[in-house]
Structure 1
Amino acid sequence: MISNKRIYGINAAVIFIIFSLLCLTGCSLFSAGTKSGGTDIIKPSGVDLTKRVALTKFENRSFVGQDEFEDVFQKSLFAKFEKACPGISLIKAEDAGNNLLSGKLPKTASGQTDSFKIAEAGRDAGLNAIITGSLNDISGVEENKGFLWFSRSKYFARIDMTINIYDCATGTKIYEEII
Structure 2
Amino acid sequence: MKQFICFLLCAILIGSFLSLSTGCSRHPFYKKKQIFLIDLKKKIGIAEFDNRLKKISDTNIETFYQRIVSDMKRSDSSLIFSMSDGKPEILSKSSRLLSTDHIDRQALIKSGREKGYQAIIWGDIYDIQIISKKTGIIGFRKEKKHVRFRGEFSLFDCGTQAKLWYAPIEEIFLFESLFDPMENKIAIIDDLTIERVLSRLSKIITEQMSFHLKKEPWKGFIIDNNNDEYLISSGHKSGLLNHMIFDVIGSMGTLAGIYGQKYDIPGNTIGRIQLIEVNDHNSKAIALYGNKLENSIAIQELTDK
TM-score band w.r.t. shorter chain: 0.5 to 0.7
**1:140 match:** 130
The one-letter amino acid paired with 2:68 is L
Normalized against structure 1, the TM-score is what? 0.60
Indicate the residue corresponding to 2:92 in structure 1: 103
Higher helix share: 1
The gaps in structure 2 that reach 5 residues or longer are 1-37, 170-305
SS in 2 for 1:141: strand
Consecutive unaligned residues of structure 1, counting only runs of 5 or more, are 1-46
What aligned pairs does 1:94-173 form with structure 2 within 5 A after superposition?
102-109=91-98, 110-146=100-136, 147-148=138-139, 150-173=140-163
The percentage of aligned residue pairs carrying the same residue is: 22
Determine which of 56, 78, 81 is the counterpart of 2:69.
78
Q: Does the 8 Å contact 2:118/2:159 carry over to 1? A: yes
Aligned residue pairs: how many? 129
- What SS does the corresponding residue of 1:122 show, helix, strand or coil? helix
Q: Say yes or no: does 1:56 pair with 2:26.
A: no
2:51–2:126 Cα contact (<8 Å) kept: yes
Q: Tell me the CA shift for residue 92 of structure 1.
A: 5.7
Gap change, CA 1:92 and 1:160, over 3 Å in 2: farther
Amino acid at match of 2:93: K
C-alpha root-mean-square deviation of aligned residues, in Å? 2.7
Is the aligned partner of 1:67 residue 2:58? yes
Find runs of 4+ consecutive structure 1 residues off by over 6 angstroms.
none
- Higher strand fraction (1 or 2): 2
| CA pair 50-173 structure 1, distance change in 2 beyond 3 A | same
Q: 1:86 to 1:138 in 2, by over 3 A?
A: farther
Q: Alignment partner of 1:112: what SS?
A: coil
Contact (CA 8 Å) 1:134, 1:162: kept in 2 or not? yes
Task: Please give the TM-score of this superposition, normalised by the length of structure 2.
Answer: 0.37
How big is the shift at 1:88? 1.6
